[in-house]
């Protein structure tokens, strides 16, 4: 296995790796059919084994403070994707990708990474194991069918809502827990480089 920069010809393998790695997470429905392009410069790395992409990390980074990251001071990078193909879990591939991205970020003059994830314990544990600190959270709430009754309405004539995705930044999450099946805590992690 070796780590290298992403190339445009990797796109199908990149999408396949990301999709399979997200399948058993709280982001299971965040499916991409092509790799994102970033407005700002990015560190885009893949782990390759026998011609297959088995891991990836994408970090869009700032040239001007607070243009990509939502927190911290100085120039940072936002980890948009870090993924390892499920057949290669628990082999240290994610950590190696992160270390290489950190090395490149330091050389670019960045002082930290920011990453957002949902409430999968194993994902949170990974971030904490690689020295990220939880700094903020809010909730993602999906409203479907009956869950929207008396909560979500349209003011547009003839528009009937089927489902809704919302951010909740309040403190009273209990009001939704009894009749919403999909509520996730969305957590911001941050890591300053030494």
Tell which residue, 65, 106, 71, has the closest CA to residue 188: 71
Residue 191 tokens read as 């890591």
Tell which residue, 102, 77, 4, has the closest CA to residue 46: 4
How confident is the model at residue 106, as a pLDDT? 97
Span 32-73, pLDDT tens digits: 899 999 999 999 999 999 999 999 999 999 999 999 998 888
2: exposed, middle or buried (C-beta count within 10 Å: 0-12, 13-18, 19+)?
Answer: exposed
How confident is the model at residue 181, as a pLDDT? 87
How confident is the model at residue 151, as a pLDDT? 86
CA distance 157 to 48: 52
Span 148-188, pLDDT tens digits: 888 888 899 999 899 999 999 999 999 988 888 899 999 99
In the chain, domain spans: 2-117
Phi and psi at 118, nearest 5°, equal -100, -165
Reported pTM:
0.90
The answer on pLDDT for 194 being more than 90 is: no
Residue 17 tokens read as 């790796």
User: For residues 36 and 90, is the Cβ–Cβ distance under 8 A?
Assistant: no
The answer regarding whether domain 2-117 maps to CATH 3.40.630.30 reads: yes
Phi and psi at 126, nearest 5°, equal -65, -50
Tell which residue, 35, 41, 38, 37, has the closest CA to residue 14: 35
How confident is the model at residue 180, as a pLDDT? 86
């Amino acid at each position: 296995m070796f780590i290298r920069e992403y190339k445009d010809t990797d796109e199908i393998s990149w999408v396949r790796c990301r999709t399979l790695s997200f399948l058993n997470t709280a982001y299971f429905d965040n499916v991409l059919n092509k790799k994102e392009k970033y407005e700002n410069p990015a560190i885009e790395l893949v782990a390759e084994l026998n011609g297959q992409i088995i891991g990836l990390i994408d970090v869009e980074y700032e040239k001007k403070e607070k243009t990509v990251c939502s927190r911290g001071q100085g120039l940072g990078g936002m980890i948009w994707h870090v993924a390892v193909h499920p057949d290669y879990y628990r082999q240290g591939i994610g950590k190696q990708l992160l270390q290489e991205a950190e090395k490149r970020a330091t050389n670019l003059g960045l002082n930290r990474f920011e990453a957002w994830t949902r409430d999968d314990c194993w994902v949170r544990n990974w971030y904490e194991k690689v020295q990220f600190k939880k700094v903020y959270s809010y909730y993602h709430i999906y409203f479907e069918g009956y869950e929207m009754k008396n909560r979500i309405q349209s003011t547009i004539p003839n528009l009937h809502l089927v489902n809704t995705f919302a951010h909740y930044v309040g403190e009273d999450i209990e009001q939704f827990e009894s009749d919403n099946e999909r509520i996730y805590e969305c957590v911001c992690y941050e890591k300053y480089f030494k």
